[in-house]
């Protein structure tokens, strides 16, 4: 879906307490965004004005322009001056060897102020790198909510359903990335008795990115290309109970249809039933059932979710509420 964001998604609303913790208001950007140092900016402009054309547009062996370099280093005033100059020359969106423009480098380097500056100077928000990753894909993958806020609230037309070359939308990327962080937290907790605090912060930031995308209109119904998984399939498959709770807290008019969507024949409930080693298997199954998952649906092998449960006492206990 392409549209100017923020927008209201049809059929989607939030529980009364969920928006309060989103911090998605564009007005919050002003609280974090420092003013540019005008003295430094003037120095940078003079420096760039005295630079000849070949040096201004020169690209190194990696394809980096002077703008890429300033951006990666977080030199905001010099990046702004270089962007002004390259914009005049029609080279603001020059790409380095991985297909990244300065805007994509700014996103990857978690430089929201420079992202804002580049967009204000006309950087292409829809451009992608060699992997088909747009600015939104990258912000979602790395879990940079402030960068994502800048992109979503810049008043530009942003394609929330853009696909990278793996067939994933930014929302799919955000879910996959959140799942990877939760897995790392669980591994850290089991080995050290205390989860890494930085991982916890990453998980919170990535969940914020999910909220921002959905609140701006990204569709939870979108299926990735390779196996038709929705974000719910992806979260359940990884046993990510936190994310499943979040997705099922969204008030969709078609929640039951969403829960029972198939990915190569498997519903989310089939996937939960197959999580034999997960400590969250039973909770996931109960949660899905409470929101309308249909235990009678069969997959391509004609199996119902109950047929995919493990043997033994745990499997038998769970089987009892699938029939």
- Hey, how many other C-beta atoms are within 10 angstroms of the C-beta on 9? 17
What value does the mean pLDDT take over residues 172-200? Answer: 83
CATH of residue 64's domain is 1.25.40.20
- 183 CB-contact burial (10 Å; exposed 0-12 / middle 13-18 / buried 19+): middle
Question: In terms of pLDDT, which residue wins out, 28 or 130?
Answer: 130
- The rounded distance, in Å, linking the Cα atoms of 193 and 189 is 5
Residue 71 and residue 80 in contact, taking contact as beta carbons nearer than 8 Å: no
- The rounded distance, in Å, linking the Cα atoms of 220 and 210 is 10
Q: How many domains does the chain have?
A: 2
Nearest Cα residue to 132 out of 141, 143, 123: 141
Q: What angle do CA 179, 182, 184 make, to 5 degrees?
A: 110
Query: 50 CB contacts (<8 Å, ≥6 apart)?
Result: none
Task: Judge whether 321 lies within some domain.
Answer: no
Domain span at 37: 16-159
pLDDT of residue 191: 57
Residue 162 has pLDDT above 90, yes or no: yes
What value does the mean pLDDT take over residues 127-147? Answer: 98
pLDDT of residue 299: 96
Same-domain status, 178 and 135: no
Same-domain status, 37 and 131: yes
Same-domain status, 295 and 175: yes
């Amino acid at each position: 879906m392409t549209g100017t964001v923020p927008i209201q998604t049809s059929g989607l609303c939030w529980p009364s307490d969920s928006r309060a913790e989103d911090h998605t208001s564009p007005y919050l950007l002003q609280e974090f965004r420092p003013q540019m140092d005008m003295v430094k900016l003037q120095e940078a402009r003079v420096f760039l004005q005295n630079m000849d054309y070949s040096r201004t547009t020169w690209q190194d062996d990696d394809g980096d322009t002077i703008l890429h370099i300033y951006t990666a280093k977080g030199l905001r005033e010099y990046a702004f001056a270089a962007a002004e100059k390259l914009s005049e020359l029609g080279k603001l969106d020059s790409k380095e060897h991985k297909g990244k423009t300065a805007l994509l480098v700014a996103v990857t380097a978690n430089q929201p102020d420079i992202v804002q500056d580049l967009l204000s100077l006309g950087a292409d928000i829809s451009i992608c790198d060699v992997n088909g990753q747009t600015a939104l894909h990258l912000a979602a993958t790395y879990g940079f909510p402030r960068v994502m806020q800048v992109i979503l609230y810049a008043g530009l037309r942003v394609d929330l359903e853009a696909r990278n070359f793996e067939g994933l939308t930014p929302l799919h990327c955000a879910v996959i990335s959140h799942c990877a962080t939760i897995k790392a937290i669980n591994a850290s907790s089991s080995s050290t008795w205390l989860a890494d605090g930085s991982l916890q912060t990453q998980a919170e930031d990535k969940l914020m990115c999910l909220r921002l995308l959905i609140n701006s209109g990204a569709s939870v119904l979108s299926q990735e290309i390779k196996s038709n998984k929705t974000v719910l399939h992806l979260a359940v498959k990884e046993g990510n109970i936190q994310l499943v709770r979040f997705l099922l807290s969204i008030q969709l008019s078609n929640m039951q249809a969403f829960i029972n969507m198939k990915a190569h024949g498997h519903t989310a409930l089939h996937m939960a039933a197959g999580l034999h080693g997960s400590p969250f298997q039973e909770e996931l199954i109960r949660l899905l059932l409470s929101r309308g998952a249909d235990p009678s649906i069969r997959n391509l092998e004609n199996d119902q979710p109950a047929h995919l449960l493990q043997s033994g006492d745990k499997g038998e206990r769970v089987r009892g509420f699938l029939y």
